[in-house]
Amino acid sequence: MKYGYFDDQNREYVITQPNTPLPWINYLGCEAYFGLISNTAGGYSFYRDARLRRITRYRYNNAPFDLGGRYIYLRDDTSGEFWSPSWQPTQHKLEQYSCRHGMGYTTIGSKYSGIEACARYFVPLGENLEIWQLTVTNDRPQAAELSIFSSIEFCLWDAQDDSANFQRNFSIGQVEIEDGVIYHKTEYRERRDHFAFFACSEKIAGYDTQRDAFLGPYRGWDNPAAVERGLCSNSVAHGWAPVGSHHVKLSFKPGESRQVIFVLGYQENPRDQKFDPPDSQIINKKTAKTVIAKYLAAGNADAAFEKLRVYWSELLGLCQVDTPDVHTNRMVNIWNAYQCMATFNMSRSASFYESGIGRGLGFRDSNQDLLGFVHMVPGRARERILDLSATQLPTGGAYHQYQPLTKRGNDDVGSGFNDDPHWLIIGVGAYLKETGDWSILDEPVPYDNAPGSERPLYEHLQRSFRYTLERLGPHGLPLIGRADWNDCLNLNCFSDSPGQSFQTTTNKDGKVAESVFIAGLFVLAGCELADIARHRGLAAEACSYLAEVAKMEATIRQHGWDGEWFVRAYDDFGRKVGSKENAEGKIFIETQGFCTLAGVGLEDGLAVRALESTRQLLATKHGIVLQQPAYSKYYIELGEISSYPPGYKENAGIFCHNNPWVIIGETRVGNGDAAHDFYTRINPSAREEISDVHRCEPYVYSQMIAGRDAPTHGEAKNSWLTGTAAWNYYAITQWILGIRTSYDGLLIAPVIPKSWRGFKATRKFRGVTYSIEVQRAGDGNQVSLEVNGAPIPGNLVPLPPPGNKTVAVKATLR
List, by residue number, the catalytic residues: 487
Q: Identify the H or E element spanning 725.
A: helix 724-730
Nearer to ligand GLC, 28 or 357 (CB): 357
Nearer to ligand GLC, 210 or 368 (CB): 368
Please state, in angstroms and rounded to a whole number, the distance separating the CA atoms of residues 645 and 710.
8
Task: Quote the least distance from Cβ 486 to ligand GLC, whole Å.
Answer: 5
Please state, in angstroms and rounded to a whole number, the distance separating the CA atoms of residues 303 and 706.
44
Give the residue from 484, 363, 485, 483 showing the smallest Cα distance to 493. Answer: 483
Please state, in angstroms and rounded to a whole number, the distance separating the CA atoms of residues 195 and 289.
13
Residues in the chain: 814
Please state, in angstroms and rounded to a whole number, the distance separating the CA atoms of residues 719 and 715.
11
Distances, alpha carbon 455 to alpha carbons 386, 406, 431, 436, 531, in Å:
12, 21, 19, 21, 21
Nearer to ligand GLC, 66 or 650 (CB): 650
Nearer to ligand GLC, 202 or 487 (CB): 487
Give the residue from 353, 366, 349 showing the smallest Cα distance to 696. Answer: 353
What one-letter code names the amino acid at 132? W
Q: Which residue is nearest to ligand GLC (CB)?
A: 487
Handedness of CA 399, 404, 407, 412 (dihedral sign): negative
Task: Quote the least distance from Cβ 743 to ligand GLC, whole Å.
Answer: 27
- What is the contact surface with ligand GLC in residues (CB under 6 A)? 348, 362, 364-365, 485-488, 503, 640, 649-650, 657, 703, 722-723
Residues 719-745: b if buried by 16+ CB within 10 A, e if exposed? bbbbbbbbbbbbbbbbbbbbbbbeeeb
Distances, alpha carbon 763 to alpha carbons 430, 433, 437, in Å:
16, 14, 18
Task: Quote the least distance from Cβ 366 to ligand GLC, whole Å.
Answer: 10
Task: Quote the least distance from Cβ 520 to ligand GLC, whole Å.
Answer: 14
Q: Who's near 56: CB < 8 A, 6+ residues apart?
A: 44, 45, 68, 70, 152, 153, 154, 155, 264
Please state, in angstroms and rounded to a whole number, the distance separating the CA atoms of residues 755 and 691.
27
Nearer to ligand GLC, 515 or 703 (CB): 703
Q: Are strands 806-813 and 768-776 parallel, antiparallel or unpaired?
A: parallel
Task: Quote the least distance from Cβ 359 to ligand GLC, whole Å.
Answer: 6
Task: Quote the least distance from Cβ 417 to ligand GLC, whole Å.
Answer: 8
Task: Quote the least distance from Cβ 46 to ligand GLC, whole Å.
Answer: 20
Distances, alpha carbon 622 to alpha carbons 220, 234, 289, 715, 729, in Å:
40, 54, 52, 9, 19
CA angle, 710 then 716 then 720, to 5°? 145
Nearer to ligand GLC, 122 or 417 (CB): 417
Nearer to ligand GLC, 625 or 785 (CB): 625
Nearer to ligand GLC, 517 or 770 (CB): 517
